[in-house]
Amino acid sequence: MSLSLFMKKNKVMKENVKFVATKSLCDEDGNPLEWEIKPLSTKDNEKIREECTKEVPVKGKANLMYPKVDTTKYLAKLITSSVVSPDLLSSELQDSYGVKTPEDLILEMIDDPGEYTNFMTFIQKLNGFDVTIDDKIDTAKN
């Protein structure tokens, strides 16, 4: 196999997609609004994971720590980083919901737990994560 096949020019780039995240936000005709979602890069994902990881002490072991990912925070940041439109950083949009962060805004905009879980699953799959029913149960518990 030729090394040239692995060159960047041959790499297939993922496109942004549309997704109805909630049925509670509609246009003038009552049609649910489509949101624009982008797939994240591995670099973006690692940055988010790092932001959501903290050192936790090992019980019974003095001065020994291990990294622990705050899964709820990680998934919220994964979602908000993937949303292109609506602009979750818009102060006008945040103010209309009485929140100050994109993560809080998404919870207010998609306040139906089932819709939120479906949206989370969609974004995980878009970003290459295989989501199983066990993952959905664990997510629902959090």
Question: Other C-beta atoms within 10 Å of 21: how many?
Answer: 25
Give me the pLDDT at residue 61, please.
Answer: 83
The reported pLDDT for the residue numbered 136 is 53
Number of domains in the chain: 1
Structural domain contains residue 90: yes
Domain region containing 92? 41-141
C-beta separation of 109 from 102 below 8 A: no
Is residue 5 domain-resident? no
Residues 65 and 58: beta-carbon distance below 8 Å: yes
Domain-embedded: residue 9? no
Q: What is the CATH number of the domain that holds 107?
A: 3.30.2220.30
Please check whether residue 121 lies inside any domain of the structure.
Answer: yes
> What residues of the chain score a pLDDT lower than 70?
131-142
**SS3 of residue 28 by DSSP:** coil
Would residue 74 count as lying in a domain? yes
The separation between CA 130 and the C-alpha centre of its own chain, rounded to angstroms, equals: 14
Q: Indicate the pTM of the whole model.
A: 0.81
Q: Which residue bears the tokens 């705050």?
A: 70
In a domain, 76, yes or no: yes
